[in-house]
Amino acid sequence: MNTILSLGATALATPMLCVISFASERPPVAPVIWDTEVETVEASAPKPEPVKLVISADAIYTADGDMIKGGTIAIAGTTIAAVTPGGVSSDEDGLHVAAITPGFIDLSPRINLADFSVEESSEVVPYLRATDAVDLYDPRWTRLLRSGTTSVLISPAAEDVVGGMTSVVKTGGDPTLESREVLANATLAGSFGSHASRGNSPVRGRPTNHFARRPTTRMGTEWSHRKAFYDTLAAMSHEDRKFEGWDIMASVLKGERPYIVQASATQDIRTAIYLKEEFSIPNMTVDAAAEAWREPGLLARSGMSVILPPFSAQGRTAIDNGFLSWNCAKTLGDLGVAFALSSHGSASPSGRLAMQAGYAIRGGLSFEDALASVTITPARLAGVDSRVGSIAVGKDADLVLWSGKPFAATSRVVGVVLNGELVTQ
Amino acid sequence: MRNTLLIMAGALACLAPSASAQTEAEPYAITADNILVDGGEVLQDGLIVIAGGKIVQVGLEADLKAGLHKDMPVLDHEGWLSAGLVAANGSMGLGSGVDDSTSAFTESLLVAESFNGDHSSVVAARKAGVTSFGLTTGRSNVAGGQGSFVKTDGAKVVNLRTHLTLCMGPPAIQSRRYPTSYSGAVNALEKRFAAGEGAFGAVTAGKLGVTIAVGARHEIDRAIRFCQKAELTGTLRGANRAGEFADRLAEAKLTVIMDAPVIGSPKWHTDSINSLAKAGVPFAFGLADSNAGAGSLRLGASLAVRAGLDRATAWRAITSTAATLAGGGKRAGRIAEGFDADIALWSGDPLSPMTRLESVYIDGALITEGN
């Protein structure tokens, strides 16, 4: 009880967000807040920041356990300070919404500088960083944030076999990498399918453009992949075989860094699976994997994770014309394949990440699995689940505020909280 | 010349360009109603003495005139005298040889070796009052070459190697050759600075300056990050939006060369200028990344003052700060003892658009009678 009162006393003084009245009237149930333990730590320990924002909701979907029916989230600094179950009356003063979910995480937002984001002078460039080609002033960041996506993986365009390292960044805040980066060089990006070989031709004489290079076919792409990993194995055991970026490739083989490859068509997904099994790559994900529903058994066998592109009315997707079935997500979920939904850079309103969760539910997926596939699962796949992806004390206060049941066609996003700040309303 | 009276008949010869060698050799003096010394400092009824192409004395006419040798020619100018204008950068006199397209890395090329001092663009510059500028490559190479500080009379090179010119975005990155991406360009430059050979080593050793061509906000952001990581202090060029990054630029100790505002420039341009001034980031106006001619410098400084910039900073942006950023700050851009006698005589306040340029002197020699 004391903790709740102190929470109210330190809440923001704005009338809209004032929680003193309802906090005192509402008996808290099992408050998950900084408690007496915090107060007994040594004086030298940094004092917890005061609560600056409290939001109540009829339902809090944590994506990390059960739904909390009626409760409040207290935010101190940039993180969640408390998640408190308890009755909530919507006529109280304070910020109250119908539902709260964690901010969404899009592992395939394709927010990059197009051709200038990918180094095409060579097909294997693991050492390059996507953050060196990021435009933090792109208006698409605001669109992502307003639609509820709070963290994304930035990656180069998929025109290389091994395209370089990707990073997880927030979609808002100061436009500097220092303030937005969640995890630098989080994963390595690769590509199967037609993109890595599209337009390439053999080098005859002196190359005159970047298309005069390997590979020129799907099988050539596979060959380049295998060569890169065999070269890496050689570099790991022979000093004289080291090449630029071998350590990045080695970190993938050792499972220290996830490998996310674009593979949309069935044969490309199979190729990716065979590569994973041949080199025992522990942590690998196929991105834009529209036709994953055709090989769910192989995916489950190999332990491959999946990122799905946005659903379309006709089923056909923009990447290699892959066909995405409405029940793809459910099929993967039933077999225990870890999967995330994505917008894959779709500019259309129907391509937004929140819409994808709704479509997946329509395809038979449970609400809980749909929520996880846009929050905690992508966070795990990118290795940032300790900071983002669910509503829990200590995690970043990235929240989506809803007018009704999340993902329902009749509900809309009424606000987004990023790093503890209410950034859109 | 209408307002310039010649006291000494013998000095007539000095005005003929063919006799410029004499004026370089023989000391002479110029008096003016107002001498714009540097920035906002104005000497009323001032006098300067020029000898050997240098300014040897600056002061009030009342203090100095009596001490002059009786035979010393004295030009009385009814109007303003200032330092010749300095463009912080420019590619005048290079014609089509601005960038060598054989490779994205041509860091050892000396741009002065392509410099044609009699090119019409150089003549146009001095007719607009520009007496020196930072000669630079274009932005079509990731490492384009080494810039120089040059005068606009003939092919006079003051400082052969002033800065290494870099660009990490298009058009330096292009589909025809390595690198094709921002990431690739950053990586390539990181490796070269780490290896520290040639021009890159000279930059890290502090023997050579560095300029990075930028445009869009993300390019400014990237260049600041690159400089901080590589511990470089240099100049961003073409950085018209730099004011939006003023605090970061100040922290990184970077300087800025931008286009001078023109009539019709967007408000963000002049806002950017004011933000840089407020944050104390040294900036100057250049011509290399602008479509405007040399005449844009003086008008741009006037427009910046009109938009709120203080006169001193605006004036320095086309004289002393420009010279400093271009690698000639110890010789050009100021009316001060020891500085080169690069001088412009004006009919009035040079920051007024109504003012005419009447004469231009470079190294003490009359070069042109202005536009």
Residue A25 is predicted with a pLDDT of 39
Residue B175 is predicted with a pLDDT of 84
Q: Out of A119, A136, A137, whose CB is closest to B181?
A: A119
Residue A385 is predicted with a pLDDT of 97
Burial label for A191, CB within 10 Å (0-12, 13-18, 19+), is: buried
Tokens 């023109």 map to which residue? Answer: B262
Q: Kindly report the nearest CA distance between residue A418 and chain B, in angstroms.
A: 22
Q: Please answer whether residues B270 and B304 qualify as being in contact, where contact means their C-beta atoms are separated by less than 8 angstroms.
A: yes
SS3 state at A307: strand
Per mean pLDDT, which range of A85-89, A415-419, B305-309, B357-361 is the poorest? Answer: A85-89
Q: Please answer whether residues A337 and A329 qualify as being in contact, where contact means their C-beta atoms are separated by less than 8 angstroms.
A: no
Asked if B181 and A208 come within 8 Å (Cβ–Cβ), the reply is no
Give the pairing of strands A421-424 and B4-6: unpaired
* DSSP assignment letter at A223: H
Residue B344 is predicted with a pLDDT of 97
* B173 vs A contacts (CB less than 8 Å): 116
Surface of B (127-186) touching A: CB under 8 A: 169-170, 173, 175-184, 186
Asked if B176 and A134 come within 8 Å (Cβ–Cβ), the reply is no
Mean pLDDT of B128-137: 97
Tokens standing for residue B220: 């400014």
Beta strands in chain B (DSSP E): 4-6, 28-38, 41-51, 54-60, 74-83, 85-90, 130-135, 143-151, 157-167, 209-213, 235-237, 255-259, 283-286, 343-346, 357-362, 365-368
Asked if B181 and A120 come within 8 Å (Cβ–Cβ), the reply is yes
Q: Which CATH number fits domain B86-326: 3.20.20.140, 1.10.10.10, 3.10.129.10, 3.30.420.10?
A: 3.20.20.140
* Residue A94 and residue A109 share a domain: no
SS3 state at A416: strand
DSSP lists the bridge partners of residue A129 as A165
Asked if B183 and A119 come within 8 Å (Cβ–Cβ), the reply is yes
- Asked whether the predicted pLDDT for residue B157 surpasses 60, the reply is yes
Tokens 């536009």 map to which residue? Answer: B371
* DSSP assignment letter at A15: G
CA dihedral over B173, B179, B185, B190, signed as positive or negative? negative
Surface of A (311-370) touching B: CB under 8 A: none
Query: Which amino acid is it at A290?
Result: A
Which of B102, B103, B167, B181 is the best residue to mutate to test the A interface, defined by the most A CB atoms within 10 Å of its own CB? B181
Asked if B181 and A128 come within 8 Å (Cβ–Cβ), the reply is yes
Beta strands in A274-382 (DSSP E): 284-287, 305-308, 339-341
Number of domains in chain A: 2
Residue A116, chain B, CB below 8 Å: the answer is yes
* B225 vs A contacts (CB less than 8 Å): 177
* Residue A112 and residue A82 share a domain: no
Mean pLDDT of B171-198: 95
* Residue A409 and residue A305 share a domain: no
* Residue A238 and residue A99 share a domain: no
Residue B315 is predicted with a pLDDT of 97
Q: Kindly report the nearest CA distance between residue A114 and chain B, in angstroms.
A: 9
Asked if A127 and B187 come within 8 Å (Cβ–Cβ), the reply is yes
Q: Give the CATH number, domain containing residue A58.
A: 2.30.40.10
- For the stretch A266-280, what's the b/e string if a residue is b when 16 or more beta carbons lie within 10 angstroms of its beta carbon? bbbbbbbbebbeebe
Residue B2, chain A, CB below 8 Å: the answer is no
* Residue A331 and residue A277 share a domain: yes
Q: Out of B176, B179, B217, whose CB is closest to A137?
A: B217
DSSP lists the bridge partners of residue B166 as B143, B212
Tokens standing for residue A124: 């294997």
Q: What percent of chain B has pLDDT over 70?
A: 93
Distance CA B286, CA A159 (A): 38
* Residue A343 and residue A294 share a domain: yes
Chain A's closest residue to B191, CA to CA, is A244
What are the start and end residues of each CATH 3.20.20.140 domain in chain B?
86-326
What are the start and end residues of each CATH 2.30.40.10 domain in chain B?
4-84+333-368
* Residue A153 and residue A234 share a domain: yes
Which of B102, B177, B183 is the best residue to mutate to test the A interface, defined by the most A CB atoms within 10 Å of its own CB? B183
Q: Which CATH number fits domain B4-84+333-368: 2.30.40.10, 3.55.40.10, 3.30.70.260, 1.10.10.10?
A: 2.30.40.10
- Asked whether the predicted pLDDT for residue B14 surpasses 90, the reply is no
Rg (CA), chain A: 23
Chain B's closest residue to A157, CA to CA, is B181
Residue A15 is predicted with a pLDDT of 38
Nearest to B352 by CA among B34, B28, B12, B32: B34
Residue B283 is predicted with a pLDDT of 98
Residue A159, chain B, CB below 8 Å: the answer is no
Q: Kindly report the nearest CA distance between residue B169 and chain A, in angstroms.
A: 8
Mean pLDDT of B351-367: 95
Residue A387 lies in a domain: no
* Residue A62 and residue A18 share a domain: yes
**CA angle centred on B180, ends B177 and B185, rounded to 5°:** 105
Q: Kindly report the nearest CA distance between residue B95 and chain A, in angstroms.
A: 26
Chain B's closest residue to A132, CA to CA, is B183
Asked if A132 and B180 come within 8 Å (Cβ–Cβ), the reply is no
Q: Is the backbone of residue A285 left (phi > 0), alpha (psi -120 to 50) or beta? A: beta
- For the stretch B326-359, what's the b/e string if a residue is b when 16 or more beta carbons lie within 10 angstroms of its beta carbon? bbbbebbbbbeeebbbbbbbbbebbbeeebebbb
Nearest to B273 by CA among B234, B302, B232: B302
Residue A128, chain B, CB below 8 Å: the answer is yes
* DSSP assignment letter at A250: H
The domain of A18 spans 2-103+392-424
- Asked whether the predicted pLDDT for residue B252 surpasses 60, the reply is yes
List average pLDDT for each run of 10 residues in chain A, which is 425 residues long. 38 37 38 40 65 94 91 95 77 80 97 90 94 96 95 94 97 95 97 86 69 83 95 97 97 98 96 97 97 96 97 89 95 97 90 94 96 98 97 97 96 96 85
Residue B218, chain A, CB below 8 Å: the answer is yes
Residue A140, chain B, CB below 8 Å: the answer is no
Residue B25 is predicted with a pLDDT of 66
* Residue A82 and residue A193 share a domain: no
Residue B23 is predicted with a pLDDT of 47
Asked if A210 and B184 come within 8 Å (Cβ–Cβ), the reply is no
Tokens standing for residue B261: 């505002």
Q: Give the CATH number, domain containing residue A133.
A: 3.20.20.140
Taking one residue from A and the other from B, the number of pairs with CB-CB distance under 8 angstroms is: 80
Residue B304 is predicted with a pLDDT of 98
- Asked whether the predicted pLDDT for residue B272 surpasses 80, the reply is yes
Q: Out of B178, B182, B221, whose CB is closest to A113?
A: B182
Higher-confidence residue of B13 and A290: namely A290
Q: Kindly report the nearest CA distance between residue B324 and chain A, in angstroms.
A: 29
Tokens 């809209």 map to which residue? Answer: A16
How many other C-beta atoms are found inside a 10 Å radius of the C-beta of residue B38?
18
* A127 vs B contacts (CB less than 8 Å): 187
Higher-confidence residue of A343 and B2: namely A343
Q: Please answer whether residues B138 and B172 qualify as being in contact, where contact means their C-beta atoms are separated by less than 8 angstroms.
A: no
Asked if B180 and A115 come within 8 Å (Cβ–Cβ), the reply is yes
Give me chain B's average pLDDT, please: 92
Q: Please answer whether residues A253 and A286 qualify as being in contact, where contact means their C-beta atoms are separated by less than 8 angstroms.
A: no
Residue B229 is predicted with a pLDDT of 96
* Residue A32 and residue A141 share a domain: no
* A118 vs B contacts (CB less than 8 Å): 180-181, 183
* Residue A370 and residue A227 share a domain: yes
Asked if B181 and A177 come within 8 Å (Cβ–Cβ), the reply is no
* Residue A145 and residue A220 share a domain: yes
* B181 vs A contacts (CB less than 8 Å): 115-120, 128, 133, 156
Residue A179 lies in a domain: yes
